[in-house]
Structures are given as structure tokens and as C-alpha cells.
């Protein structure tokens, strides 16, 4: 049962819950952006090296997220008992630039466990509600433990002050089933500045959770299993760069010489590069001896990084080629598709979970626009692009054969070939126009054709009797 709290109490409660999650969310955001701190390094060594030690980032977390996101493209919406609804919901989708917004929401959901979609009325255009994708770094929502519906949500942001000498103003919007309230923080206290009583009975915030579980409805980050391995790979790569600095080149030694002997023809001391990597050393003393230590091959670092890459591939379903584990023998097309099987299945699972959230978003869009929800929208479906990567020729060949056999209708064939809802609508109109022109031409030819001459009828009268 949802809590019965006043708006100010709801606001403080949601902000406290959000603040507890922010450190972990910011850490996962840093891993996705490749700005995470260096791990597996002793604090004493790190303090001694200070800014001389830079981390080499192997950004596998971003690769894991982007490889899934690249296969999550929405192409439209439809009812289960009909074709697409591009003239209705798709126009609202395009008006809110959700082709890009949905991609951003998917990336944040995969990396930060969840993102949010907020719906609101458009004061400038009452026919087109506003739909925005929001980050979990800015928004937090609480669910009813019984129905699992959102009962309250908050969005926080900062607005720059008009006076440059003062800091930004902290703002917050509280979303309740019948109200949206805007607050401003003044001297540490939240004060209400605006209120919208829409009385729709729904919180106009929809969580887009990645891999929700029964007891973890807020989702799980795709980075969770990759972060420890990525830290290890970054540590090994950073060690490899240190070894390359000091051991990859042959190290030379000399006895019977002092540092003052390392000078140029003018008596000036040689620079660090000339001393370490440089030129010929010469000395006239008979007691001077020169030698060279063998250089390090660094192959142990390479094999360790490759082994960590294999672990990432096993945990995430990424094809080995995505992680640079290429072989000398190029794989066949069938082998490439087989290596992508797990990744495709993972993308299909995300399509199912995210699709339910987007369908709820569209129901709320209709609620905001019309003031009520048509029961027919319960059968709303999200149309996704095929997450697999067959060639167009292969897909076209299979589709044409199914259509020719009468198994696949024409419009279903268009959908299988990957044409978007807008393209299918244009093709449908073109087909109707072509049929109309052909019918008009046939009618014109029939109306202008000359009447056919009557044919002679055979004489069927009986022959006269006698000769």
C-alpha cells in the first residue's frame, strides 16, 4: 500500500533515497565514460608516483553497453489486432525527437541500471504532449510494493543564477498521481513555486529498468560483471606502459665511467633521451667496459590482457572479434552469425523489457492528450528492428520465397525487410495510387473502345424438300 504523505515529506524522502544511490551511480557513469580511478595499485606507490603515473584505460564497459544499444532501435508502435499507428503515436514520437532520446535512455539504462521517461502537457501545443528521457543521476522514483506502479518521483536540477556572484539555484519537481509540484531550495529549505493539478490519477514518470528482478525491480547494470575484469585489464595495460618505458628497449651498462663522462663534444651533459636511447658512447680509457641487458618482450602482458578479454566475452556474450581476439584465418559468415547468437538473444530480452516500458509511456501520452486511456491500448506493441545482422540479400530472398508461397502477406514482408512504419505507410499509399491509376486506365480503354462488328450467324433453317 502506498504511503499517505504530504508533498514536502515525499520530496525529502525521495531526495534522501536518491542521495544514497548517487555515489554508486556516479561510479558506474565514470566506468562507462572511461574516467574511473586506477585500481589494484598500492596506495603507497600511487602516492609516490603522484601525477607521473597515468592509467591506460581499456574501456570494455563502454563496449559492452554500446554493443547492446546498437541493436535496440524502435521503428514504431501498433495494436495487436491491426497494423502500425504511425499517424497517431509515431507523430508524437517524432515531435519529441525520441529517435535520439530513446537511444540515450537505453544507454543510461544499460549502464546505470535504469533511466526514466517523463510525460507532461505541452503549453504551446495542446495536441502533442512533451516526452523526455531522463538520467538516473537526476531522477528517482518509488514503487508501490503491491502493484509495483510508481507512486511518487522526483527530478532535481540546477539553474544558473542571474547574478554571477551567487551559485546556481537548486530546483526539484515532485510527481504525484494527480499533481506535479515544482520546488526551489532557499537557504537550505524547499519552497513551492509552481503546481500543476492534472488529476489524471497516474504518476507521469516511467522507469526504464535494465534486467529487473523480482526483488530488484530497479534493474541491474550491464557493467556489474565487467568492472572487476576491466580494472584488472587497465592495471595490466598501465604496468605494460611502465615496462615499455624502462625495459622494452635494451638497457646498456658501462663500468669505469662517471656521469661526467656522458657529455657532448662541447662538454655539455647529454639529455635523458640521448643517455637512455641514444647514441654512441666513446671513451679513451682502457678500463672502460660496455655491455647491454636484454630487453623485455612484454608478451606476458599481452597474453594476460587476451585472457581477460576472453572472460569478458564469456560473461557478456560479445563475439571475440569485438574484443580484438582475431585469428589469422578469417571466419566464415556462418561462424560470425553463430558467434553473435548470445548477443542477439540478450538484445531480444532487452527489447521485451524496454518495450513494456515504452508501451506504458505511450498509454500515458494518450492519457495526457485525451484525458482518458482507450482500453484498446492494452494490446499496444512496440515494433523493434531485428537485432540480428543477416545480409539484406539473405533476408530478401527468404521473404520473397515466403511471400510467393502465400505464407507471408505483403505488408508483413515489408516489415520483415526492415522498412520503418513511415516507409511502409508511403509504400502502401504508392501501391494504392498505382492500383487506382491502373483501374482508371482500364475503365478509360473500355469506354473509348469502338463497338465490335456483329458476326454472321450460321443459317440453321431446314433445307427445302425435294431436289
- Tens digits of residue pLDDT in 232-244: 998 888 888 777 7
Contact present, 344 and 388 (Cβ < 8 Å):
yes
3-state secondary structure of 297: coil
pLDDT at 273: 42
Per-residue confidence band for 267, with pLDDT thresholds at 50, 70 and 90: low
Residue 131's DSSP bridge partners are 119
DSSP E strands: which ranges in 3-56? none
Residue 3 inside a domain? The answer is: yes
265 or 334, higher pLDDT: 334
Q: Looking at 389, 406, 433, which one is the last position of a domain?
A: 389
Mean pLDDT value across the chain: 82
Q: Are residues 124 and 161 in the same domain?
A: yes
Total domains present in the chain: 2
Residue 465 inside a domain? The answer is: no
Tens of pLDDT, residue by residue over 374-405, are 888 888 889 898 888 666 677 787 788 888 88
Residue 267 inside a domain? The answer is: no
Residue 12 inside a domain? The answer is: yes
pLDDT at 410: 82
- Domain limits for position 425: 392-442
Sequence-distant (6+) residues with CB within 8 A of 207 are 114, 115, 116, 141, 150, 218, 219, 357
Residue 262 inside a domain? The answer is: no
Q: Are residues 24 and 136 in the same domain?
A: yes
Residue 423 inside a domain? The answer is: yes
Q: Which of 33-37, 128-132, 429-433 has the highest mean pLDDT?
A: 128-132
Residue 82 inside a domain? The answer is: yes
Q: Are residues 321 and 373 in the same domain?
A: yes
pLDDT at 290: 67
Q: Are residues 296 and 437 in the same domain?
A: no
Residue 462 inside a domain? The answer is: no
Q: Are residues 399 and 305 in the same domain?
A: no
Q: Are residues 304 and 419 in the same domain?
A: no
Say if residue 443's pLDDT is above 70: yes
pTM value > 0.75: yes
Per-residue confidence band for 412, with pLDDT thresholds at 50, 70 and 90: confident
Residues 417, 427: Cα–Cα separation, whole Å:
13
Q: Are residues 338 and 396 in the same domain?
A: no
Amino acid at each position: 500500500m502506498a504511503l499517505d504523505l504530504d508533498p514536502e515529506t515525499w520530496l525529502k524522502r525521495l531526495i534522501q533515497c536518491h542521495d544514497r544511490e548517487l555515489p554508486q551511480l556516479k561510479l558506474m557513469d565514470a566506468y562507462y565514460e572511461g574516467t574511473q580511478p586506477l585500481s589494484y595499485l598500492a596506495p603507497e606507490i600511487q602516492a609516490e608516483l603522484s601525477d607521473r603515473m597515468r592509467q591506460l584505460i581499456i574501456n570494455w564497459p563502454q563496449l559492452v553497453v554500446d554493443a547492446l544499444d546498437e541493436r535496440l532501435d524502435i521503428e514504431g508502435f501498433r495494436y495487436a489486432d491491426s497494423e502500425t499507428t504511425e499517424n497517431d503515436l509515431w507523430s508524437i514520437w517524432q515531435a519529441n525527437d525520441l529517435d535520439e532520446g530513446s537511444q540515450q535512455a537505453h544507454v543510461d539504462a544499460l549502464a546505470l541500471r535504469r533511466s526514466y521517461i517523463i510525460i507532461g502537457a505541452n503549453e504551446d501545443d495542446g495536441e502533442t504532449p512533451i516526452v523526455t528521457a531522463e538520467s538516473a543521476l537526476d531522477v528517482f522514483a518509488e514503487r508501490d510494493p503491491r502493484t509495483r506502479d510508481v507512486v511518487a518521483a522526483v527530478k532535481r536540477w540546477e539553474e544558473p543564477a542571474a547574478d554571477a556572484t551567487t551559485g546556481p539555484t537548486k530546483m526539484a519537481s515532485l510527481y504525484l498521481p494527480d499533481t506535479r509540484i515544482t520546488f526551489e531550495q532557499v537557504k537550505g529549505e524547499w519552497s513551492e513555486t509552481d503546481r500543476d493539478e492534472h488529476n489524471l490519477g497516474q504518476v507521469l514518470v516511467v522507469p526504464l529498468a535494465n534486467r529487473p528482478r523480482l526483488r530488484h525491480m530497479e534493474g541491474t547494470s550491464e557493467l556489474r560483471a565487467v568492472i572487476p575484469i576491466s580494472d584488472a585489464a587497465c592495471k595490466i595495460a598501465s604496468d605494460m606502459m611502465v615496462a615499455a618505458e624502462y625495459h622494452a628497449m635494451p638497457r646498456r651498462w658501462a663500468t669505469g665511467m662517471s656521469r661526467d663522462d656522458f657529455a657532448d663534444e662541447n662538454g655539455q651533459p647529454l639529455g635523458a633521451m640521448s643517455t637512455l636511447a641514444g647514441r654512441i658512447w666513446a671513451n679513451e680509457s682502457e678500463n672502460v667496459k660496455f655491455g647491454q641487458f636484454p630487453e623485455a618482450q612484454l608478451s606476458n602482458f599481452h597474453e594476460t590482457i587476451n585472457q581477460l578479454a576472453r572472460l569478458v566475452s564469456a560473461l557478456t556474450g560479445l563475439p571475440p572479434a569485438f574484443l580484438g581476439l582475431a585469428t589469422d584465418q578469417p571466419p566464415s559468415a556462418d561462424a560470425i552469425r553463430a558467434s553473435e547468437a548470445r548477443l542477439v538473444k540478450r538484445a531480444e530480452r532487452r527489447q521485451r523489457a524496454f518495450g513494456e516500458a515504452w508501451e506504458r509511456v505511450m498509454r500515458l501520452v494518450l492519457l495526457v492528450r485525451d484525458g482518458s486511456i482507450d482500453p484498446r491500448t492494452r494490446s499496444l506493441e512496440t515494433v523493434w528492428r531485428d537485432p540480428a545482422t543477416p545480409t539484406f540479400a539473405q533476408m530478401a530472398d527468404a521473404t520473397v520465397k515466403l511471400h510467393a508461397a502465400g505464407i507471408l502477406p505483403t505488408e508483413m514482408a515489408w516489415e520483415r525487410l526492415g522498412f520503418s512504419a513511415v516507409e511502409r505507410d508511403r509504400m502502401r499509399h504508392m501501391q494504392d495510387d498505382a492500383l487506382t491509376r491502373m483501374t482508371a486506365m482500364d475503365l478509360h480503354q473500355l469506354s473509348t473502345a469502338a463497338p465490335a462488328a456483329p458476326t454472321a450467324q450460321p443459317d440453321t433453317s431446314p433445307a427445302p424438300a425435294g431436289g
